[in-house]
Chain A
Amino acid sequence: MSEAHAHDHHDDHHHGPEPGIMRWIKTTNHKDLGTLYMWFSFTMFMIGGMMALVIRAELFQPGLQFVDPGFFNSMTTMHALVMIFGGVMPGFVGLANWMVPMMIGASDLALPRINNWGFWILPFAFTLLLSTLFVDGGAPAAGWTMYPPLVLQSGDSLPLLIFAVHMMGVSSITGAINIVVTILNMRAPGMTLLKMPLFVWTWLITAYLLIAVMPVLAGAVTMLLTDRYFGTSFFSAAGGGDPVMFQHIFWFFGHPEVYIMILPAFGIISMIIPVFARKTLFGYDSMVYATASIAFLSFIVWAHHMFTVGMPVAAELFFMFATMLIAVPTGVKVFNWVATMWKGSMSFETPMLFALAFVFLFTIGGFSGLMLAIVPADFQYHDSYFVVAHFHYVLVPGAVFSIMAGVYFWLPKWTGHMYDEKLGKLHFWLSTIFVNVTFFPQHFSGLAGMPRRIPDYATQFAEFNMISSIGAFGFGFSQLILLFVVIKCIRGGQPATGRVWEGARGLEWSIPSPAPYHSFETPPDVPDSEVTSAQEQHA
Chain B
Amino acid sequence: MKSLLRNTVLAMAAPLLLATGQARAALELNMPRGVTEITREVYGLHMLIFWICVAIGVVVFGAMIWSLIYHRHSKGAKPAQFHESTTVEIAWTLVPFLILIGMAIPAAGTLIKIEDASDADMSIKVTGYQWMWEYEYLDHDVQFFSRLDEATNQARQLKSGIDPTSVDNYLRDVDKYVVVPVDQKVRLLLASNDVIHAWWVPELSGKKDAIPGFINEMWFKAEKTGIYRGQCAELCGRGHGYMPIVVKVVTESEFEAWVNEQGGSMTTDAAEQAASGTQVASAGTTATDAAVDAPADSAAADEGEGQSSEPVQVADAGDAPADGTSEGAAGLSMDDLMAQGKKVYDGQCAACHQVDGSGMAAAGFPAMKGSPVATGDLAEHIDQILNGKGAMPPYKDTLSDEEIAAVITYERNAFGNETGDIIQPADIADAR
Residues of A that sit less than 8 Å from B by CB: 61-65, 67-71, 73, 136-138, 141-143, 147, 149-150, 152-153, 155, 227-228, 231-233, 235-244, 277-286, 308-313, 315-317, 320-321, 324-325, 327-328, 331-332, 334-335, 338-347, 356, 359-360, 363-364, 367, 370-371, 374-380, 382-384, 444, 447-449, 451-460, 462-464, 466-467, 470, 474, 534, 537
Contact = CB atoms under 8 A, between A and B. Distances in A.
A286 B84 CA distance: 9
A383 B97 CA distance: 28
Contact of A460 (B25, B83, B231, B391): B25
A73 B12 CA distance: 27
Contacts of B213: 236-238, 242-243
B93 A328 contact: yes
B279 interface: no
Interface in B157-209: 157-160, 162-165, 169-172, 190, 194-196, 198, 200, 202, 205-209
Interface in B49-67: 49-50, 53, 56-57, 60-61, 63-64, 67
Nearest to B213: A237
B164 to A, nearest CB: 4
B107 A236 contact: no
B29 A447 contact: yes
A89 to B, nearest CB: 23
Contacts of A71: 363
The secondary structure that dominates the A interface is helix
Interface string B75-107: 001111111110011001100110010011001
B25 A338 contact: no
B312 A334 contact: no
B45 interface: yes
Contacts of B209: 308-310
Interface stretch (B256-264, B282-290, B317-325, B412-420): B282-290
Q: Which 4 interchain pairs have the tightest Cβ spacing?
A: A237-B213, A379-B206, A448-B28, A454-B241
Contacts of B73: 278, 345-347
Nearest to B237: A150
18 contacts: A64-B157, A137-B364, A149-B312, A238-B306, A244-B214, A277-B71, A308-B209, A310-B208, A360-B61, A363-B61, A376-B206, A382-B233, A383-B233, A444-B29, A448-B29, A455-B241, A463-B19, A464-B27
Contacts of B160: 63-64
A376 B233 contact: no
Contacts of A244: 211, 214
Contacts of B305: 238
B217 interface: yes
Nearest to A339: B88
A377 B39 CA distance: 9
Contact of A457 (B45, B158, B171): B171
Contact of A458 (B38, B172, B216): B172
A137 B363 contact: yes
B302 to A, nearest CB: 7
Contacts of B217: 310
B235 A360 contact: no
B103 to A, nearest CB: 7
Given A344-B79, A374-B45, A451 B200 contact: yes
A449 B31 CA distance: 8
B19 A462 contact: yes
A155 B306 contact: no
B272 interface: no
A73 B235 CA distance: 9
A152 B311 CA distance: 10
Contacts of A384: 233
B31 A136 contact: no
Given A238-B306, A344-B77, A338 B68 contact: no
Nearest to B306: A238
B230 interface: yes
A370 B163 CA distance: 39
A454 B303 CA distance: 34
A149 B194 contact: yes
B20 interface: yes
Contact of B49 (A63, A374, A455): A374
Nearest to A142: B235
B309 interface: yes
B16 interface: yes
A346 B115 contact: no
Contacts of B24: 459-460, 462-463
Contact of A283 (B29, B89, B112, B214): B89
B111 A237 contact: no
Contacts of B205: 379
Interface in B127-181: 155-160, 162-165, 169-172
Contact of B196 (A136, A149, A324, A444): A149
Contacts of B351: 69
Nearest to A448: B28
B104 A237 contact: no
B80 A344 contact: yes
Contact of A380 (B93, B107, B198, B202): B202
A345 B83 contact: no
Contact of B92 (A141, A150, A312, A332): A332
Nearest to A449: B202
B46 interface: yes
B308 A458 contact: no
Contacts of A338: 60, 63-64, 67
B79 A316 contact: no
B112 A232 contact: no
Nearest to A360: B61
A63 B167 CA distance: 11
A227 B88 CA distance: 54
B350 interface: no
Given A243-B214, A371-B49, A458-B170, 6 more contacts: A65-B159, A73-B240, A360-B64, A379-B207, A448-B29, A462-B24
Contacts of B159: 64-65
B362 interface: yes
Nearest to A467: B16
B42 interface: yes
Contacts of B19: 61, 462-463, 466
A430 B146 CA distance: 46
Given A308-B206, A341-B71, A534 B110 contact: no
